[in-house]
Chains A and B, each alone.
Chain A
Amino acid sequence: MSEDAELVSRIRSGDVNAFAALYDKYKRQLYRTVLGITGDTGAAEEILQDGFVRAYAAMDRVDASSSLAPWLYRIVVNLSYNWTNRNRRWPLDLDKWIDRLVAGPAASPEHEAEGRELRDIVWKAVASLGFKQRAVIVLFYLQGCSLAEIAYVLDCPVGTVKSRLHYANKALRQKLREDRRLTGEVAYGAS
């Protein structure tokens, strides 16, 4: 019996500690995924909370024979989609993020500045994508999900995922090309 299956079995019998263990196991990757899609830390926490409450309510119906990750991704991505439809904006406070996250103690000031600028460009390009392409980009590049897993999470055929990934890459390349700060093969490779 896998670890997830054991946790699900214990949760079904009313073990709250098992539910806490499940939360600890998946909270980071789910939170980062939602953050990558919504760009809002408050929304990411709210969606994470709502997602786990829903997961607990549906625990009797879940197939616990395999990993719960795709199922949990599916819940939070759906909630992210609802949130994006309600807000229709990208409230990413990039400067605050980068100040908090990026600067490592070993990084030189020049390197840090370059890194900040590059991330700024890429994040803005990702933020300009529509929800579906952005979700594919985040799940594929950030979480390393396979195309089949993304298809399950987004409830669409694998071919659609491939198509969205292709057009998202194309759009990102176009955005990066338009940005004068980024040059070289990354921006002009497709031309």
Chain B
Amino acid sequence: MVRPSQGAERKPTALAEDDLGRLIRWSLEDAVSGAEPSPDVWPRILQQVKQKGAASEPGPVRRRLLSGLVPLMQAVVVSSLLLVFGLSVDRSMLMPHPESQALPTPAVQVSVVSEEESQDVLSGCILFRQAKEPLPRPSTGVTCGSREARGIEVSSWSTLSLDGKRR
């Protein structure tokens, strides 16, 4: 419920605000209603606009140079972009991240050798060793053949027969 005193307070305020608005509007409009810019303003604007337009437009030589350079610059820019893109793809797609990189498993080489082959190898080794080692001298002290024959070197001993003659 609105008290009568509140309504009585509001009405003059609203009216006064309208009066204030009207007073401001009237004062401002009346003060500037006949104001106009001087005729010199437009020629100055036009002059500045033409100067700026002339400064921003390139001359014929510059224009020709620019028109020749534009495709070259475009090609350089595009190729460098492609290069950068390609490098980034290489690094990001082909090279795994360090945390997800799988370390190579060390290779263990196992050679399978059959039993027959091992026997062959073993017998080959034995034969080789026997061929290199000298045969032992007979320890019986049996004199065989003449003095000259006794002086025969050991290496040729096996070639002598019991009768002392070379075979």
Most buried by A among B15, B23, B34, B36: B23
| Contact A142/B25 with A16-B46, A185-B12 known, Cβ cut-off 8 Å | yes
B132 within 8 Å of A (CB atoms) = no
| Those of B16-41 within 8 Å (CB) of chain A | 16-17, 19-21, 23-25, 27-38, 40-41
B20 close to A169 (CB less than 8 A): yes
A5 CA to B116 CA, complexed, in Å: 103
B48 within 8 Å of A (CB atoms) = yes
A141 close to B24 (CB less than 8 A): yes
- In the complex, what residues of B have CB within 8 A of residue A141's CB? 21, 24-25, 28-29
Interface residues on chain B, size class: 20 to 34
B15 close to A189 (CB less than 8 A): yes
- In the complex, what residues of A have CB within 8 A of residue B85's CB? none
A148 within 8 Å of B (CB atoms) = no
Q: How far is the CB of A21 from chain B (nearest CB, A)?
A: 11
A62 within 8 Å of B (CB atoms) = no
| Contact A23/B32 with A172-B20, A190-B16 known, Cβ cut-off 8 Å | no
B52 within 8 Å of A (CB atoms) = yes
- In the complex, what residues of B have CB within 8 A of residue A20's CB? 42, 46
- Partner of A45 from the list B19, B29, B34, B38 (CB cut-off 8 Å) is B38
- Partner of A53 from the list B31, B38, B49 (CB cut-off 8 Å) is B49
When C-beta atoms are compared, the residue in chain A nearest to B28 turns out to be A142
- In the complex, what residues of B have CB within 8 A of residue A77's CB? none
B45 within 8 Å of A (CB atoms) = yes
B44 within 8 Å of A (CB atoms) = yes
B20 close to A189 (CB less than 8 A): yes
B119 within 8 Å of A (CB atoms) = no
- In the complex, what residues of A have CB within 8 A of residue B44's CB? 49
Most buried by B among A16, A101, A122: A122
| Contact A126/B28 with A31-B37, A44-B37 known, Cβ cut-off 8 Å | yes
- In the complex, what residues of B have CB within 8 A of residue A138's CB? 28
B41 close to A186 (CB less than 8 A): no
B28 close to A186 (CB less than 8 A): no
B28 close to A101 (CB less than 8 A): no
Chain A, residues 168-187, CB within 8 Å of chain B (1/0): the string is 01001100100000000110
A169 close to B21 (CB less than 8 A): yes
Q: Which residues of B contact A (CB under 8 A)?
A: 12-13, 15-17, 19-21, 23-25, 27-38, 40-42, 44-46, 48-49, 52
What are 23 A-B interface contacts by the 8 Å CB criterion? A20-B42, A27-B41, A28-B37, A32-B33, A35-B32, A36-B32, A48-B41, A53-B52, A97-B35, A101-B31, A122-B27, A123-B31, A126-B28, A141-B21, A141-B24, A141-B28, A172-B20, A176-B20, A185-B19, A186-B16, A189-B17, A189-B20, A190-B13
Q: Which residues of A contact B (CB under 8 A)?
A: 16, 19-20, 23, 27-28, 31-32, 35-36, 41, 44-45, 48-49, 52-53, 56-57, 97-98, 100-102, 115, 118-119, 122-123, 126, 137-138, 141-142, 169, 172-173, 176, 185-186, 188-190
Known A36-B32, A138-B28; further 16 A-B contacts with Cβ < 8 A: A16-B46, A27-B42, A36-B28, A45-B37, A53-B45, A101-B30, A102-B30, A118-B27, A122-B28, A141-B25, A142-B25, A142-B28, A176-B20, A186-B16, A188-B16, A189-B19
